[in-house]
Amino acid sequence: MASNCSLLNPIHENLIIGELLMLFDDLRINKARLQNTLEESARIGKTDKNGLIRCAVTDEDKIGRDLLVKWYKECGCEVIIDEMGNIFAKRPGKNPSLGAVLSGSHFDTQKPGGRFDGILGVLGALEVMRTINENGIELERDFIIVDWTNEEGGWFAPACMGSGVWAGNHTKEWAYARKDRDGYAVFGEELERIGYKGSFPASHKEWNIYAAYELHIEQGPQLWKENIQIGAPKGILCLHWYDIWLEGTANQVGPTPMAGRNDALLAFSEMNIVVNNVAHQMGNMVGTVGEIQNYPNSRNIIPDKVHFTVDVRSWDDDHALKAWEMMKKEFEIIAERRGCILRTEETWKVAHAPFDRELYNRVVEISEQLNYSCKRMVSGAGHDMSEINQVTRGAMIFVPSVEGRSHVEVEETPYEDCERGTNVLLHCILKTANEV
């Protein structure tokens, strides 16, 4: 540890914890430093339209990780890299046996994605660490920043891969064997290639975590539309991912009559409509086809193979499952009628994540103390917290997304909002890491 991390500032020495917390009421993060850090991150994998392409286990991901590790070491942290490449930066507290407070998110992006999704959660936690350090504050508990591997799952499915293994929902061997969207690269080999297949066991059982916070952009329109500064989600919708393969018969488009074709793409087109219709009919859920591969993808060959994905989300897990069952039944009828073979696979299923009541309320209370407007809400986007919340107490802090846009290059959150969210995180950490 650097000396300013481990020493209590002499003026704090005779104060009891309650008095210390009052003393820190006025403490705020450094907005300019947070902005600089976000801007430095936004250069790694930058696209022409000011977005980012920094998919997990790529060369850009490695550059981003190297920078994070450098920053963590400058803070005097112990850096631990586990078998899934999850990076932990630990700042010891006075009493490590009490259990640590964990905060972070992910540094990988969609292809292409924006500059804030996940990144704000990691760099916000880093800014909190820097603020605590420079004020010579000693915490009762360890404070740990985490960067989870492959949260996005857009290139190597599923999402939340690093946190999912850590939470015990997949084996690391299963994750290592996952192939990329093109079916070529193997996840474990790529993780090793970029030098981030660590040796520390990727399991929550190796850690004593007391509470976890994740700062994130909302990725939806509510805060932006209502002009509210902070969102306090009570939890995250369930996320169910399915992969579907269709096999028909390829043929020359000219001489083959319209009647009797086994056109896999046509069958898919009907199935896409089914997903949309079922989601509308059921209500209280969303259903999306986001990825499709069509083969041989030639304008004058009837397509014989299609692969596509279905993403189903709801607060009610049974409701989401019922919707999928309805979709699947319709798919079977369509496949039969179109003379196609249908195969479906459940790729990922994470239950809806209700957050810890006390931590969730704390986000609201601290926002109010800081005079920020705050809204209780639900997260439609998936987060590592969906997994983490299953093995520890968790909560999230949201800040607005301009026009509700995310997973796009124009994703934007004003730095003032990033600052406010990071101040809420700072005070959540100060309070929670001093609870004994």
Q: Whose Cβ is closer to ligand GLV: residue 253's or residue 351's?
A: 351
**Secondary-structure breakdown of the chain: helix, strand, coil percentages, each rounded to the nearest 5:** 40, 25, 40
Tell me the closest approach of the beta carbon of residue 237 to ligand GLV, in angstroms: 9
Closer CB to Mn ion, residue 208 or residue 288?
288
Q: How many residues bind Mn ion (CB under 5 A)?
A: 2
Question: Please, which residue, 118 or 394, has the CB nearer to Mn ion?
Answer: 118
Alpha-carbon distance 123 to 105, whole Å? 9
Q: Please, what is the minimum distance in Å from the beta carbon of residue 120 to ligand GLV?
A: 13
Closest CA to 58 of 195, 163, 235, 244: 195
Smaller CB distance to ligand GLV: residue 78 or 243?
243
Interacting stretch for Mn ion, rule CB under 5 A, among 116-124, 131-139, 285-293, 327-335? 116-124
Cα 18 to Cα 144: distance, rounded to the nearest angstrom: 22
Compute the half-sphere exposure of residue 212: CA atoms within 13 Å on the CB side of its CA: 29
Alpha-carbon distance 400 to 227, whole Å? 8
Q: For residue 103, which of 407, 427, 380 has the smallest C-alpha distance?
A: 427
The one among 68, 101, 120, 159 contacting ligand GLV by CB under 6 A = 159
Judged by DSSP in three states, 242 sits in strand
State which of positions 30-89 bind ligand GLV (CB under 6 A). none
Instruction: Tell me the C-alpha distance between 214 and 28, whole Å.
Output: 18
Binding flags for Mn ion, 298-337, as an x/- string (CB under 5 A)? ----------------------------------------
Cα separation, 118 vs 418, whole angstroms = 12
Choice between 121 and 382, CB closer to ligand GLV: 382
132 contacts which partner out of ligand GLV, Mn ion, none, CB within 5 to 8 A by kind? none
Interface with ligand GLV in residues 380-419 (CB under 6 A)? 381-382
Which one of 92-100, 113-121, 233-241, 251-259 is the stretch in contact with Mn ion (CB under 5 A)?
A: 113-121
Residue 159 contact partner, candidates Mn ion, ligand GLV, none, CB within 5 to 8 A by sort of partner: ligand GLV
Distance of CA 34 to the CA centre of its chain: 20
The CB-of-336 to Mn ion minimum distance in angstroms stands at 36
Cβ atoms < 10 Å from Cβ of 149: 33
Smallest separation (angstroms) from ligand GLV to the CB of 100: 25
Indicate which of Mn ion, ligand GLV, none lies near residue 382 (CB less than 5 to 8 Å, by partner kind): ligand GLV
Q: How far is the CB of 121 from Mn ion (least distance, A)?
A: 7
Q: Number of residues interacting with ligand GLV: please give it, by CB under 6 A.
A: 4
The minimum distance between CB 159 and ligand GLV, in angstroms, equals 5
**CA angle 279–284–290, rounded 5-degree value:** 40
**Coil, helix or strand at residue 70:** helix
| Interface with ligand GLV, residue 121, by CB under 6 A | no
- Residue number closest to ligand GLV, CB atom: 382
Least separation in angstroms between CB 217 and ligand GLV: 11
Using alpha carbons, select from 140, 103, 143, 142 the residue that is nearest to residue 124: 103
At residue 19, what are phi and psi to the nearest 5 degrees?
-70, -40
Cα→Cα distances 139→15, 21, 384, Å:
13, 11, 25
- What's phi and psi for 230, nearest 5 deg? -130, 140
Q: Which of 117, 419 has the CB closer to Mn ion? A: 117
Among 117, 127, 304, 311, binds Mn ion (CB under 5 A): 117
Determine the residue with CB nearest Mn ion.
118
From CA 70, how far away is CA 85, in angstroms rounded? 16
Please pick, from the candidates 108, 127, 140, 152, the single residue that binds ligand GLV as defined by CB under 6 A: 152
Question: Using CB under 6 A as the criterion, which residues of the chain lie in contact with ligand GLV when the complex forms?
Answer: 152, 159, 381-382
Question: Using CB under 5 A as the criterion, which residues of the chain lie in contact with Mn ion when the complex forms?
Answer: 117-118
